Structure 1
Amino acid sequence: MSDDDAPFLPRTATPVTPRPTPSWAKKKPPKSKAAKRAKITARKYLAPRDPQEHARKIAENVMDAWYQNFGGSDIDVPLGAVAALALLRNRPGLADWILNLQPHELPELFKEIYLGCWIKRPDLINRAIRLHDWAWNPNPDTQQLRAVHAVTNRAINTGLLDLTGHDDPYMRAEADVLSPLLTGLRHKSDKKWRGEYHTPACVSDLMAGMVVDKDFAQPNMAIREPAVGSGGMLRSVAQRLRDLGLNPQDYTWYGNDVDSLAAACAAVNAIIWDLGPNCAIGCADSLAPEDDYAKTLTEARDAFKERDQAMDTVTLITATRSAMRLLEKAAA
């Protein structure tokens, strides 16, 4: 009987020569840009030991997140988001809580941060209005909120709270986070037109170390900077005073800048660095014949008066509501 007559009998398999693997199959498929970004975000960030380098890394990551998510040309927004986060004191679980917020929840968070600081320093928060005015928009742009969300996540994952969230003001003032972000977000031609070139921290620290000593820095002394930028020179002097065992709150500070956004950053930094109650930040032309210091003090007094009136109104409303609840309980 032939094999053809018994198809159910097992047959010997025909030997097959394996085909060579094509060259393209030997390489792993390239990862998408989104996968690479996700891997970077998920990886634990190791902050540089140098605080100044750390601040630059934060600025680079924030700018990358803002432009990758098409945040737009309004640089007040990413600056204001980072400034608000820098005003927080770091606590266990705070970073994770913020990272779990949705984009539409972030403006409310930033408003609460700025309002909390406004109660204590209405003059400085009023000066910083360009950094938080956008958060009060009742109809925010959804794409911008997504960019703000990306900026917030990137800033925290790059260790912003580790740099600015210390209880000790000396630790908070080791670097200026807003300076590299402000100068990095601005277009090159815009910086040239404004003549905006912030003094490097190493230079301002050297100058403060050469000029300020215990014989020079007498209590109640006034320290002024007519082109304050984001406040780098004030930071260096404050740190020098602390190195000498002196308290910056025992001195009078005044910084002025013709650019309202730079002055806004300096106002926030004055709070972060704890320069004290006798610190004023102005926005005027220091070369103009008008007295910019007198103008700044007048604006500060008006801000405190406005704060006091608002607090009186809140107190009255709260007392009235409490009285109404007591009357309702008595009537029942």
Structure 2
Amino acid sequence: MPDDTPFLPRTAAPTTPRPVPSWAKKKPPKSKAATRTKVTARKYLAPRDPHEHARKIAENVIDAWHQSFGGSSIDVPLGTVAALALLRNRPGLADWILNLQPHQLPQFFKEIYLGYWVKRPDLIARAIRLHDWAWNPDPDTQQLRAVHAITHRAINTGLLDLTGHDDPWRRSEADVLSPLLTGLRHKSDKKWRGEYHTPACVSDLMANMTVDKKFIKPGMSFREPAVGSGGMLRSIAQRLRDLGLNPHDFHWYGNDVDALAAACAAVNTIIWDLGPNCFIGCADSLAPEDDYGITLAEAQDAFTERDKAVDAATFIAATEGALRLLNQITTPKEKASV
């Protein structure tokens, strides 16, 4: 017989609580995608010889570049190491750089070069081959991964320990870019260019023999018609410092027919702190043209362009500041009238 009683919810039967499983007592693991492991620089036992240390850095960078399939553009690894060598080492800096993502590195390198462009626009303009790639609005992903790899390898091999000293004598003990440039280039490429950099031991010996305290005086000039990455200039500067003299009190000029070598020399003169009277040219020293005069004219143009850009930036900043102040003054009155 059908029951006409309206449907009523039944009372739930009493149940015994089930024991909590062991896996539920543990906190759920964090997603690997949402977490990033902080990378720290590993301590590197650098060789006692700074030139050997520079060679080790170059070898590790070249190995990382090729293992990461960075490509044939050797200006990219050169520009990466050059930018890092321009930094002054500070506590935590290496760890901070190592935790940057590949897509963040070009902007970081641009800021380094722009910081020195304000001081020496001529040298940074000469080094355009080393940092032009960082301004690419659509960078190659594989290349960025290779840049990320060589950044880690350079720092973990002690690059900042070699070039990051506040004392210019300490960071001028070796040339990091010379073994890197010659190591990245193919043997046939070096052969037809006739590119053979003078070993540091030879250039140091030449500097010690020719730069004598009896006749060397502030105001003198040093010229190198085949400067390469600037190794001879480095040796002379170190010799001057050993004699208690300041390289800033002398005039320096280096020239090379190879634009990439001249770019390395331009960056090195900043690292080695040769002073405001140092100019690097890119021309054929055997040509009848006055390469020194051309270099000075190009430097003057670079300073003029720098001044124009700074003046424009100053004007824009002043205008924006005035507009903000005007807005702060007028806004309360408008609200009161409403």
Q: Normalising by the residue count of structure 1, what TM-score does the alignment of the two structures yield? A: 0.87
Q: Distance in 2 between matches of 1:330 and 1:246?
A: 57
1:255 is the counterpart of 2:246: no
SS of residue matched to 2:118: helix
2:243 maps to amino acid:
L
Q: Please state how far the C-alpha of 1:214 moved relative to its aligned partner.
A: 1.2
1:141 is the counterpart of 2:140: yes
2:47 maps to amino acid:
P
SS of residue matched to 2:222: strand
Q: State how 1:155-194 maps to structure 2 within 5 Å.
A: 155-194=154-193
Q: Distance in 2 between matches of 1:44 and 1:235?
A: 28
Q: Give the corresponding residue for 2:233.
A: 234
Q: Please state how far the C-alpha of 1:44 moved relative to its aligned partner.
A: 3.4
Unaligned segments of structure 1, at least 5 residues: 1-40
The two structures, once aligned, show a CA RMSD in angstroms of: 0.9
Q: Distance in 1 between matches of 2:215 and 2:155?
A: 39
Q: Distance in 2 between matches of 1:42 and 1:324?
A: 46
Q: Please state how far the C-alpha of 1:291 moved relative to its aligned partner.
A: 0.2
SS of residue matched to 1:120: coil
Q: Give the corresponding residue for 1:202.
A: 201
Q: Distance in 2 between matches of 1:280 and 1:307?
A: 16
Q: Please state how far the C-alpha of 1:215 moved relative to its aligned partner.
A: 1.9
1:91 maps to amino acid:
R
Q: Distance in 1 between matches of 2:294 and 2:56?
A: 37
2:282 maps to amino acid:
C
Q: Distance in 2 between matches of 1:244 and 1:331?
A: 64
Q: Distance in 2 between matches of 1:258 and 1:91?
A: 36
Q: Please state how far the C-alpha of 1:42 moved relative to its aligned partner.
A: 8.0
Q: Distance in 1 between matches of 2:41 and 2:176?
A: 23
Q: Distance in 1 between matches of 2:223 and 2:59?
A: 30
2:152 maps to amino acid:
N
Q: State how 1:115-134 maps to structure 2 within 5 Å.
A: 115-134=114-133
SS of residue matched to 2:245: coil
Q: Distance in 1 between matches of 2:220 and 2:84?
A: 31
Q: State how 1:37-186 maps to structure 2 within 5 Å.
A: 44-186=43-185
1:224 maps to amino acid:
R
Q: Please state how far the C-alpha of 1:325 moved relative to its aligned partner.
A: 0.3
**Contact (CA 8 Å) 2:203, 2:231: kept in 1 or not?**
yes
Q: Distance in 1 between matches of 2:52 and 2:191?
A: 24
Q: Please state how far the C-alpha of 1:43 moved relative to its aligned partner.
A: 5.8
**Contact (CA 8 Å) 2:168, 2:271: kept in 1 or not?**
yes
Q: Deviations over 1:92-131 (max 9, x none)?
A: 0000000000000000000000000000000000000000
Q: Distance in 2 between matches of 1:199 and 1:124?
A: 22
Q: Please state how far the C-alpha of 1:216 moved relative to its aligned partner.
A: 2.7
SS of residue matched to 1:281: strand
SS of residue matched to 1:255: strand
SS of residue matched to 2:314: helix
Q: Distance in 1 between matches of 2:101 and 2:223?
A: 42
**Contact (CA 8 Å) 2:41, 2:155: kept in 1 or not?**
no
1:241 maps to amino acid:
L
Q: Distance in 2 between matches of 1:45 and 1:205?
A: 27
Q: State how 1:25-36 maps to structure 2 within 5 Å.
A: none
Percent of aligned pairs with the same residue? 82
Q: Distance in 1 between matches of 2:302 and 2:266?
A: 14
1:298 maps to amino acid:
A
